[in-house]
Each structure stands twice: as structure tokens, then as C-alpha cells.
Structure 1
């Protein structure tokens, strides 16, 4: 069966060449921002379904996406962590990074932030990996973890664990869609059924 996008075409080559690095960048931004404008998870699934990169390349791209999402969450953690090192040099390199905590807090809202704080107080580090593995809650525990002075190494490990679980689920969904696409009879003309 042919791929959804023919890799020999200009568009196909562009998607394959630019798709992986773009996904990694989008996951870094997703980790850095709470209240997503664009959901890279949908783009990841579309990328896998459209290009059929194979399991090894899918896992490699997924691993890079996990790493970049975790790195983005670490940057956000560092900006709100008042007990740890200040972002310092990083804040000077990236414009408006010092304003990020206020922007994120405003975006989440006081009532939702209070709820997330209670979850973090109740479940601790488990809340970090569970929220990162749950669609719609990804990255929410970064702010309470940073504000509470949660140990950075534990935060990174638990954040990466949750991101990895989420990515495994995305890979499973993408592969399931690939199988479904292969199963669909593409010749659905009326003559075929008469």
C-alpha cells in the first residue's frame, strides 16, 4: 500500500525533512508553555500516519520530543523556582523569559492554580508524572513544583517519565490509525457495490 504522502514529491520530502525537527521544537514550546495554542500531539500523530516512518524512526523522534518537552518544562520550573538558581544568563538570552511565570499564572487562573497546588501538596512527585502522562493536564504541575522548591533532579526524572508514558500512548494511537487506514477499502465507488 502507498503512503499517505509520497516521499518522492516535493511536499513529501519537505514533510519528512522538516517534520521531525519541527515536532521537537513544538514539544519544547509545549513544555515551556501551559495552556497550549497548538497541540503538537496531533501533529505527531499526523506525521506518523502521513509519512509512515517505521517504528525505529518513530521511537527516535518520540524520544527527542520527550527530551525537548522535558527541557521546556525544566526552563519553566527554573523560572518559577525561587529557592533554586535564577534563570540568569538564560533570561538574558531569551527575551521576556523573566515575565513567563506571571504570564503562565495569569493564563491558568487563580482557581485552577489553587486546585493544582492542592493536588501537588497531596500527591507530591506522583502528581508531576501523572499530569505529564495525562492529556489536558500536561505541564500543569511544573509551576507548583517550582514554587514549592521540589528537588530539580526528581522533577526532571518524573517529568521525563510522564512525558515518555504520554509519547508511548501517542505512538500506539498513531500505529493504530495506520492499521485502520490500511484496512479501509479505498475504492468505495458505487460500481464496486453493485
Structure 2
């Protein structure tokens, strides 16, 4: 797992944000839940820099990728009868699926946006939503809203890390940490 982030960063350096888009498509489809997407995203933003023109393509790739992945999962469940609990590549337990069903039953479509904004719950409501009467367009919009919020929070974390490193480097350069 330790080698995954450097390898992914090398792929992003070589092939650009297309790799990040693909990783987030997998994450959105629940296939990539074992990939440390948050860490990869923050690392790529840090590598790109906090300039808006540098990180906007990175953020767009993550948002679009996650939304595409969740829509693929939604359509696969709704139109093709896919049962993700039967696939070894999708880490879905019955407990997690039951929890997602309860959230959707209680809160409806807004729960899709909220859970997409929270680490660890992203994408799980695609399954119960696909078996409801919610349209694909409305699901995609809710997924998009949550992914924008999530990605914005990750960008804020990356910018905060970058500023903290700059601050600490400046403090150290000024000798404020020097031991007498």
C-alpha cells in the first residue's frame, strides 16, 4: 500500500489528470474503495500547487470521475440488475447495504449528496437509490453536489497543508525553532 501513492503520482505525472479521473471513476463505482483516493487527491493537488489554474483540472477530474462512476453503478443496478454484493471486486457487505437502505428510506435523495460529501460513505447510496423511483438525472445531480463539496474540502486540506509547510519553513528559516 505504501508504494501505491508514489506509483499513482508517477502515473499522474506521465498521463495527467486522466489517471485521476479513472481512479475516481473506480471509486465512484465502489470498485476502487480500496484505493486511497483522498490521499492521492491531496498529493496531486500539493504537487500541482494551490494556484487555482493548477488544481482546477485536478478537482474537475475527481468530481467528474466520481459522478461517472456512481452513475455507472446506478445504471448497472437499475437497468442490468447488477447485485454488487455478489462481486468480489466491490467491497459491499450486507450490513453496509442495509445501512445505506435505512439512510435512503429516512432522508431520500438529499442523503445521496450528504453521504457523497463524507469520507467512507461516498457512493453507497447509489444502490438503494437505483431501486427507487428517482431518475438518473436527479441521482447524478445529487451525486455531483456531494462530490463538489467533498472535493472542495480536500482542496482546502491540501491548501492548508501547503500553507502550514510554508509557515514552518519560514519559521525555521528565521531561527524561531533554534535551540539555544
Q: TM-score, normalised by structure 2?
A: 0.81
1:24-173 residue pairs with structure 2 within 5 A? 24-33=21-30, 36-52=33-49, 54-81=51-78, 85-86=79-80, 100=84, 102-103=86-87, 107-173=91-157
Preserved CA contact (<8 Å) 1:33 1:104: no
With over 3 angstroms needed to count, the CA separation of the structure-2 counterparts of 1:123 and 1:77, relative to structure 1, is: same
- For 2:159 and 2:53, locate their aligned partners in 1 and report how far apart those are by CA, in whole Å: 12
> Who is 2:6 aligned against?
none
With over 3 angstroms needed to count, the CA separation of the structure-2 counterparts of 1:104 and 1:72, relative to structure 1, is: farther
**Runs of at least 5 residues in structure 1 that lack an aligned partner in the other structure:** 1-11, 88-97
- How far apart are 1:36 and its partner, in Å? 1.0
- How far apart are 1:68 and its partner, in Å? 1.2
- How far apart are 1:104 and its partner, in Å? 7.2
Preserved CA contact (<8 Å) 2:75 2:130: yes
SS in structure 1 of the partner of residue 146 of structure 2: helix
- How far apart are 1:175 and its partner, in Å? 0.5
Preserved CA contact (<8 Å) 2:74 2:126: yes
**Runs of at least 5 residues in structure 2 that lack an aligned partner in the other structure:** 1-8
SS in structure 2 of the partner of residue 38 of structure 1: coil
- For 1:172 and 1:108, locate their aligned partners in 2 and report how far apart those are by CA, in whole Å: 30
Instruction: Provide the alpha-carbon RMSD of the alignment.
Output: 2.9
With over 3 angstroms needed to count, the CA separation of the structure-2 counterparts of 1:43 and 1:106, relative to structure 1, is: closer
- For 1:161 and 1:14, locate their aligned partners in 2 and report how far apart those are by CA, in whole Å: 28
1:119-164 deviation digits (Å, cap 9, x = unpaired): 1011110110001000110001010111224211100000000000
Instruction: Compare CA radii of gyration and give the structure with the larger one.
Output: 1
Task: Give aligned pairs, total.
Answer: 169
- How far apart are 1:15 and its partner, in Å? 5.2
1:45-103 deviation digits (Å, cap 9, x = unpaired): 1112234262222122201210111001000001111xxx449xxxxxxxxxx575632
Q: More deviation in 169-178 or 59-68? A: 59-68
- For 1:105 and 1:120, locate their aligned partners in 2 and report how far apart those are by CA, in whole Å: 24
- For 1:45 and 1:183, locate their aligned partners in 2 and report how far apart those are by CA, in whole Å: 18
